[in-house]
Structure 1
Amino acid sequence: MTERDETAGDERDASLHQTILADIEGRIISGAWPPGHRIPFEVDLAAAYGCSRMTVNKVLTQLAKSGLIERRKRSGSFVRTPTSQAAVMEIRDIAAEVAALGLAYGYRLVRRGRRKATAADRARLELPAGGTVLHLVCLHSAGPEPFCLEERIVNLAAVPEAEAEDFSAEAPGVWLLRQVPWSSAEHVVRAVEADGETAELLAIRPGRACLVVERRTALAGAFVTHVTLTYPGHRHALQARFTPAQARAPT
């Protein structure tokens, strides 16, 4: 084989490598191959693309290093379930969290209704008797899977314009961040077992552990909204950044 033939062969292998990599990444990110899906065996991929098993092996190794798949000895390669980090100390757009995982974001409004504030609503938003709230239940998804269940109440005395919004196309958190400035926020983080409705919406078993982040935001001393974000516990972790409460000069 001449040097020119070897160069041409290397270029062909590199091109096939990129083709296979792009194809598999596309199927994973689009949801065509959901988490847990078994990737075709190396010999089958090599036959499908007309290349060597070595080329396929390099592609799968690269995908495993990037966290998109996991390779199990004697079992094959599988699409990996993405692990998200729920931010505790900051207010983040859920769509941005999903995009950071390389997955397509989806949103669905489950329920919307205006109601007289219940005792629980009044406690959460420190409302007087007779106050009214907008109650919203929304489901956020990442690729083909549910990502987060959002239950929110909005103080209509603080944000009366929210009553005119149907929130069928845009998540309320995004709308509120754009519409209403906030001056302070409180977070509570806890673990709960999924009840029947939560389990059904998140496509998990009833009783499965979930990570719950409760947050309420205020403007000029008046609470604007309270939201409960429920994540499937096996796919999420907490993330927080800390700085010293008081810097000390070296002595």
Structure 2
Amino acid sequence: MSMIETADVEGGVSLHQRILSDISEKILSGAWAPGHRIPFEHELSAQYNCSRMTVNKALSQLAKAGLIERRRRSGSFVRRPQSQAAVLEIHDIRVEVEALGLLYRYERVTRHKRRSDAEDRSLLEVGTAGPVLALECRHFAGQRPFAHEQRLINLTAVPEAADEEFLAIAPSPWLIGRVPWSEAEHRIRAVAADRQIAAALDIAAGAPCLVVERRTWSAEHPVTHVRFTYAAESHTLVARFRPSQG
């Protein structure tokens, strides 16, 4: 057995596993951001004093797990994590992020309490002016922005929201825990990132984005309108259904 093959096991942990662990940790911690080039096979082989076959096996496993993308002649690169969300569910973004194995963080950007204007009433589908709470928030996956949130809350339907700062908790889980929703509507569209969205998501202006707009009602009273914007390459919407029995 050669020295390199013997070195394939160190302290009970195979070099294959060490390479997997080291690279995964750098990606999941945010030390290697999406688009970062992974060292070439021959560089990793020299670094770990192992065969290129061992390195190739580890990189193939990382690619299969969706953490890296392998490009012929160019090398391997960190992929932007891609989440999947069910179209017909009201979900918590924290759950999406943690399902990717990434650390979730929430940030409230702005909070304004005001009397609704014509645009607010159109978004909430209410006929008369009333108090609303307008929020702008960001959700993070690891070190990267994951989703930008713009939300209106109808304070006539949820008066207690007027006293909530939404600094420690995101609006969605707060509302789900307090207001039993009876109906919801989703609208999904593609947009190009404007300057505000590009800055919020740390992407280039004009980059493709996926927008999910949602309205909810409780006993026929409009509760909230929210617009989530995701970088298109990081998010997939999934709908599972059965054929009509009619």
TM-score above 0.5, yes or no: yes
- What residue in structure 1 maps to residue 73 of structure 2? 74
Indicate the SS of the match to 2:14: helix
Indicate the SS of the match to 1:61: helix
Which consecutive unaligned segments of at least 5 residues does structure 1 have?
A: none
1:229 aligns with 2:228: yes
Indicate the SS of the match to 1:20: helix
Aligned CA RMSD, in angstroms, stands at 2.2
Q: Give the Cα separation in 1 of the matches to 2:189 and 2:218.
A: 25
- After TM superposition, the structure 1 = structure 2 runs for residues 93-242 of structure 1, keeping only pairs within 5 Å, are 93-242=92-241
CA shift digits 1:188-239 (9 cap, x unpaired): 1112222221121112222322211111111111011110111122332321
Q: Deviation of residue 14 (structure 1)?
A: 5.6
- Are the counterparts in 1 of residues 7 and 49 from structure 2 also a CA contact under 8 Å? no
User: Structure 1: which amino acid aligns with 2:235?
Assistant: H
CA shift digits 1:53-109 (9 cap, x unpaired): 222221111111111111222222111122223432111111111122222222111
Which range moved further: 226-235 or 130-139?
A: 226-235
Q: Give the Cα separation in 1 of the matches to 2:79 and 2:32.
A: 10
Compared with structure 1, are the counterparts of its residues 29 and 82 closer, same or farther at alpha carbon in structure 2 (3 Å cutoff)? same
Q: Give the Cα separation in 2 of the matches to 1:209 and 1:10.
A: 44
- Are the counterparts in 1 of residues 40 and 76 from structure 2 also a CA contact under 8 Å? yes
Q: Deviation of residue 135 (structure 1)?
A: 0.4
Q: Give the Cα separation in 2 of the matches to 1:35 and 1:240.
A: 27
Q: Give the Cα separation in 2 of the matches to 1:10 and 1:138.
A: 47
User: Structure 2: which amino acid aligns with 1:34?
Assistant: A
Counting aligned pairs with the same residue, the percent is 58
Q: Give the Cα separation in 2 of the matches to 1:223 and 1:243.
A: 29
Q: Deviation of residue 17 (structure 1)?
A: 1.6
1:46 aligns with 2:27: no
Q: Give the Cα separation in 1 of the matches to 2:136 and 2:47.
A: 45
Q: Deviation of residue 145 (structure 1)?
A: 1.9
TM-score under structure 2 length normalisation: 0.90
TM-score under structure 1 length normalisation: 0.89
Bigger Rg, structure 1 or 2: 1
Q: Deviation of residue 10 (structure 1)?
A: 6.7
Q: Give the Cα separation in 2 of the matches to 1:222 and 1:72.
A: 52
- Are the counterparts in 1 of residues 215 and 223 from structure 2 also a CA contact under 8 Å? yes
- Are the counterparts in 2 of residues 88 and 213 from structure 1 also a CA contact under 8 Å? no
CA shift digits 1:145-204 (9 cap, x unpaired): 221111000011111111111111211011111121111101111122222211211122
- After TM superposition, the structure 1 = structure 2 runs for residues 75-90 of structure 1, keeping only pairs within 5 Å, are 75-90=74-89
- Are the counterparts in 1 of residues 136 and 149 from structure 2 also a CA contact under 8 Å? yes
Q: Give the Cα separation in 2 of the matches to 1:131 and 1:243.
A: 41
Q: Deviation of residue 40 (structure 1)?
A: 1.4
- Are the counterparts in 1 of residues 8 and 16 from structure 2 also a CA contact under 8 Å? no
User: Structure 2: which amino acid aligns with 1:122?
Assistant: R
